[in-house]
Homo-oligomer: A and B are copies of this chain.
Amino acid sequence: MSRWQPNARERLAEAALELYGERGFEQTTVAGIAGRAGLTERTFFRHYTDKREVLFAGARDLEELFVRAVAGAPASAAPIDALAAGLEAVAEAFAGRRAFARRRQAVIAANAELQERELVKLASLAAALAGALRGRGVGEPAASLTAEAGVAVFKIGFERWIGADEERDMAPLLRESLAELRAVAAGG
């Protein structure tokens, strides 16, 4: 039998989300998070580089998934269609996680430092998408513009999904947002 309870990392993330939600981000101490997870403060910092990052660990997975789907789209697909493929993959990954996403987004919305970190993650996502598009042979500035647009579509679709009825899936919301972008770009 193991010396430690398993899933320390996940326990820390859950404890952090709970406490940030109950008391707010600033009123929560890292020692408090670690305590609730049955660990010490030092161990928290072995799993997460700082107090904010515990909410953004999933961003790396999302980025990889999104990028892989864009890169793996048929070679014949136009940039915007490769982007659409990425958005489909993202929607799939969020299936069944709306309650969690809502809790997390409410916490972020309540604190400026967390919003700051979210901007960084979105910028990182845009850069990664632009790289994937360039890897498909898309030139600049089209790659970067498409990537930025993709992030914008994701943001808007995500917000709508968070606010939607329990029944709405994310995929159609992302498709609608992408369609709106196309309309605007076409001079709507």
Contacts and interface: CB of A to CB of B under 8 A. Distances in A.
A184 B143 CA distance: 12
Contact of A120 (B116, B148, B184): B116
A164 interface: no
Contact of A184 (B117, B119, B141): B141
A111 B180 CA distance: 37
Contact of A116 (B117, B145, B152, B180): B117
Contacts of A141: 180, 184
How many copies altogether? 2
Contacts of A145: 184
Interface in A71-125: 115-117, 119-120, 123
Nearest to A115: B120
A167 B145 CA distance: 30
A156 to B, nearest CB: 9
Interface of A: 115-117, 119-120, 123, 141-142, 145, 148, 152, 180, 184-185
15 contacts: A115-B120, A116-B116, A116-B117, A116-B119, A116-B120, A119-B119, A119-B120, A119-B123, A141-B180, A141-B184, A142-B184, A145-B184, A148-B148, A148-B152, A185-B185
Given A115-B120, A145-B184, A148-B152, 12 more contacts: A116-B116, A116-B117, A116-B119, A116-B120, A119-B119, A119-B120, A119-B123, A141-B180, A141-B184, A142-B184, A148-B148, A185-B185
